[in-house]
């Protein structure tokens, strides 16, 4: 493997749906309300992706420095932990990604103002603080709620605001299911790594409250992501969405079963398929809005 290929693996491309999907949802909502700006949407997507890639690389860097990533790792190989990429290279890579995100953010701040500046700076800071410092989000059990908010209502709402210069509770509510599914990905990751996390003092919610908590947390996130469209339909009247999203728990049944029955490396496939649920949900939502808009 070349160094480029190893870095490509380290950015975890299969996880990038968590940053791409909310931007797509925010953009389709902006289009629905007559405010779509393709260029702004693309820059927003690039900025979000750079922040997530930077976070993934920073995660590798700081977890390895803290001794959290070991040869006993159950997830996909981490190039830094395996000694295939130096700490220095990983550090340069994550700083570069955050610098690119900041560069994209300058344009976004120019059109979105102070709220976008605050969201951008906090997002980059949380990307570093996810595993850095003794108060790292991943080590204190705060990562679940932060993922839910920043990959959900904040990302969807921020994208929509950049293109329409307006925001409403309706838009934030539409972002919640996306955030819930992004958080579900993290839950599977933490279920898989619970024993390794316990040894390295990584106090995720599952380490704190046990595997049963994580299993029911996962199920709750899936069910809520299917329930919220019913609530939005009652309030805002987009009826087609509920018919299709009501099938989400059925589509997710194999993943739900796996979360309750499997452990360790067997959950790697479940993690990947939970990411696909996020993509499926985004496609369902987008097609529903397009259908509703054309009536």
- For position 72, what pLDDT does the model report? 55
pLDDT tens digit string along 97-146? 999 999 999 999 999 999 999 999 999 988 888 776 666 777 777 888 99
Average pLDDT over residues 59-75: 65
Position 264 confidence tier, pLDDT thresholds 50, 70, 90: confident
Instruction: Give the pair of three-digit tokens for residue 253.
Output: 């049944």
Highest mean pLDDT among 131-140, 160-169, 260-269: 160-169
Position 187 confidence tier, pLDDT thresholds 50, 70, 90: very high
Compare 122 and 79 and report the one with higher pLDDT.
122
CA distance 199 to 197: 5
Average pLDDT over residues 259-287: 90
Fold of 3-294: Farnesyl Diphosphate Synthase (1.10.600)
- For position 63, what pLDDT does the model report? 73
CA distance 206 to 192: 10
Position 270 confidence tier, pLDDT thresholds 50, 70, 90: very high
Instruction: Give the pair of three-digit tokens for residue 265.
Output: 């490396």
- For position 15, what pLDDT does the model report? 82
Q: Which residues contact 68 (CB under 8 A, 6 or more apart)?
A: 131, 196, 197, 200, 202
pLDDT tens digit string along 209-257? 999 999 999 999 999 998 888 887 777 765 555 666 667 788 899 999 9
CA distance 275 to 182: 7
Instruction: Give the pair of three-digit tokens for residue 46.
Output: 């690039």
**Residue 157 near residue 167 (C-beta atoms within 8 A):** yes
Number of Cβ within 10 Å of residue 242's Cβ equals: 18
pLDDT tens digit string along 191-201? 998 988 888 77
Average pLDDT over residues 75-103: 77
Mean per-residue pLDDT over the chain, rounded = 85
Average pLDDT over residues 169-197: 92
Instruction: Give the pair of three-digit tokens for residue 223.
Output: 């069910």
């Amino acid at each position: 493997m070349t160094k480029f290929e190893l870095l490509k693996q380290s950015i975890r491309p299969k996880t990038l749906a968590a940053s791409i999907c909310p931007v797509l949802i925010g953009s389709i909502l902006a289009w629905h309300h007559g405010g779509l700006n393709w260029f702004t949407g693309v820059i927003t997507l690039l900025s979000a992706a750079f922040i997530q890639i930077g976070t993934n690389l920073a995660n590798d860097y700081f977890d390895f420095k803290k001794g959290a990533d070991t040869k006993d790792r159950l997830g996909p190989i981490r190039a830094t932990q395996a000694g295939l990429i130096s700490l220095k290279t990983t550090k340069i890579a994550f700083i570069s990604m955050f610098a690119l995100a900041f560069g994209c953010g300058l344009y976004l701040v120019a059109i979105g103002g102070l709220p976008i500046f605050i969201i951008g700076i906090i997002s980059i800071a949380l990307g570093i603080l996810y595993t850095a410092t003794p108060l790292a989000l991943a080590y204190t059990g705060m990562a679940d709620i932060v993922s839910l908010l920043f990959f959900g209502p904040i990302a969807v709402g921020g994208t929509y605001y950049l293109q329409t210069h307006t925001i409403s509770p309706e838009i934030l509510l539409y972002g919640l299911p996306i955030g819930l599914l992004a958080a579900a990905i993290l839950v599977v990751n933490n279920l898989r790594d619970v024993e390794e996390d316990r040894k390295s003092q990584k106090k995720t919610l599952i380490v704190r409250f046990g595997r049963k908590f994580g299993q029911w947390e996962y199920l709750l996130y899936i069910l809520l992501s299917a329930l919220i469209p019913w609530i939005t339909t009652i309030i805002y009247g987009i009826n087609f969405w509920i018919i299709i999203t009501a099938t989400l728990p059925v589509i997710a049944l194999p993943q739900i079963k796996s979360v309750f029955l499997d452990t360790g490396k067997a959950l790697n496939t479940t993690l990947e398929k939970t990411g696909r649920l996020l993509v499926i949900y985004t496609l369902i939502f987008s097609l529903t809005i397009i259908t509703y808009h054309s009536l």
